[in-house]
Amino acid sequence: MTPAQAKRLSHLDALIDVTQDAVIFIDDSGAITRFNGAAAVMFGYTESEALGKNITMLMAEPYAQEHDQYIKRYQQTGEKRAIGMIREVFGKRRNGEEFPLELSVAEFPEGGPSHYGAFLRDVTERHHEKRQLVERERLATVGLAAATLAHEVGNPLNNIHLRAQSLERRLGKLGIDDERITTGVKTIRNEIARLNSLLDEFRLLARPQRLDLGEHDVVSLLREIATVELEAADGRVQLVDELDESMPPLQIDKGRMAQVFLNLCRNAVEAMPKGGSLTLRSRLIDNEHLQLCIADSGPGIDKSVRLFEPFSTTKREGSGLGLPVCRRIVSAHQGEISYETSSAGTLFCITLPLTQAVLQGERSG
C-alpha cells in the first residue's frame, strides 16, 4: 500500500468513527468486522460485544431469518436485492425493541477482512410523522362521512322523536293505560335518545375541534373525574393515586379534556366488573411534555382489536366512536394518546405539550 493509499484509508477510518450514521462492516459469512460509535448508540451494543457476532442479531424478523440465505444466493447467482440500493427495513436493539431503518449496502473488493458495508439511519421519527399524516387524512375522511350521515339521519330521527312525543300525549288524553303500548312508546323514545347520542359522537368526529383554551390543572381534573367514576362503581374498584401535585398547568379546553378523561376512566372501570384497581400517574418528558396515564387491572384487550378505528369496540353496546373522538380531541391539543395491554391490564397514556409560558418560567427559574 502506497503512502497516499494509507492516508486515504486513515481519513476514511476517521470519517467512519465520527459520522452520525451507523456503519457496520461484515465478512462473507455475516460476521461483524467493524462497528462504529453511531452503531453502538443505535443498537445498544459496545464495539467489543458486536465484533465477530453475526449481523442477524441486529435484525428484526423476517430479515434475520432470510439474511444468511440471501448472502449465499448472491454469492452463487450474483442476484442483488440490497447492494447498491436504499431500502427501509427493521432493526432490533439490544433491549428487543424493533425500529425502522434506512439501509444502504456496498460490496468491497476482495482482499480484506470486510466484504460488505452497511450504512444505516434510524428513521423512527419519519415513520411517526408519516403515521400521523395518514391518521389525519383518515380522520378527515371519516369526519366527512360522519357529517353526511349525521345530516341525512338527523332530520328523520327528529321527526320520529316528535311523532313519538305526540303519540305519548294522545295516549294520555285518551286515557289508554295499556302497559304493552306505553312500554313500547317508551322503548321507542329510549332508542331515539341512544341514536341521538350516537349522532352527537359522529358530529364530534366530523367537525373541526375548536378549542376554548385556558390554563388548567390537568392533574386535579383527572383525579376529580376518576373519583366520581369510582363512586359509581360502589367500592368494587380502588383508586391508586400516583399523580404528582407539582405538575404544571396546561393550556387546554377543560370541557373537551374532561370528556377524554371521563371516557378513559369509565372504560377502565367497566373493564373490571369483578373489581380491581384504577391507577393514575403523571410525569414530565424531556421538560417539554406532560404525560398522564390511566391503568386498569382488568383482563386486557384482544390485540386484534384496533381501538382507535371508528366502530371498533370490545363492548356489546358500545358505538366504537368514543376512543376515536378522544384521539381527535387530544390531537387538536397537539398531543398524542397511546395504549399498552396485557393479561395484567391496560394502560392508556395521554402526552400533552407544556405551554410556552411554563417553559419560559422553568428556564428563567
pLDDT score of 208: 60
Q: What count of other Cβ atoms lies within 10 Å of the Cβ of residue 118?
A: 21
Cα angle 209, 214, 264 (rounded to 5 degrees) comes to: 60
Query: What is the domain-level CATH number for residue 61?
Result: 3.30.450.20
Q: Is residue 42 domain-shared with residue 104, that is, in the same domain?
A: yes
Q: Is residue 169 domain-shared with residue 297, that is, in the same domain?
A: no
Q: State the 10-residue block means of pLDDT for the chain, 365 residues long.
A: 64 78 89 93 95 92 77 66 77 92 81 77 86 72 69 77 82 79 82 76 65 91 92 86 92 91 92 92 90 93 72 57 83 89 91 65 38
Q: What count of other Cβ atoms lies within 10 Å of the Cβ of residue 271?
A: 21
Cβ partners under 8 Å of residue 151, min gap 6 = none
pLDDT score of 310: 60
pLDDT score of 160: 84
- Separation between Cα atoms, residue 124 and residue 139, nearest integer Å: 22
The last residue of a domain, from among 184, 206, 228: 206
- Separation between Cα atoms, residue 169 and residue 166, nearest integer Å: 5
Q: Is residue 192 domain-shared with residue 226, that is, in the same domain?
A: no
Query: Looking at the 3D structure of the chain, how many domains does it have?
Result: 3
The last residue of a domain, from among 206, 241, 258: 206
- Identify the CA nearest to 16 among candidates 36, 33, 32, 31: 36
Q: Is residue 107 domain-shared with residue 163, that is, in the same domain?
A: no
- Separation between Cα atoms, residue 207 and residue 308, nearest integer Å: 18
CB 120 within 8 A of CB 101: yes
Q: Is residue 232 domain-shared with residue 142, that is, in the same domain?
A: no
pLDDT score of 112: 61
Q: What is the DSSP letter of 155?
A: H
Largest CA distance in the chain: 112
Q: Is residue 223 domain-shared with residue 304, that is, in the same domain?
A: yes
Strands 22-26 and 250-252: unpaired
Residue type, 16: I
pLDDT score of 364: 36
Cell numbers that stand for 135 in this block: 391518521
pTM above 0.85, yes or no: no
CB 81 within 8 A of CB 66: no
pLDDT score of 37: 92
User: Interhelix angle for 322-332 vs 254-270, to 10°?
Assistant: 140
Q: Which domain holds residue 187?
A: 127-206
Q: Is residue 224 domain-shared with residue 359, that is, in the same domain?
A: yes
Q: Is residue 226 domain-shared with residue 321, that is, in the same domain?
A: yes
The last residue of a domain, from among 73, 96, 122: 122
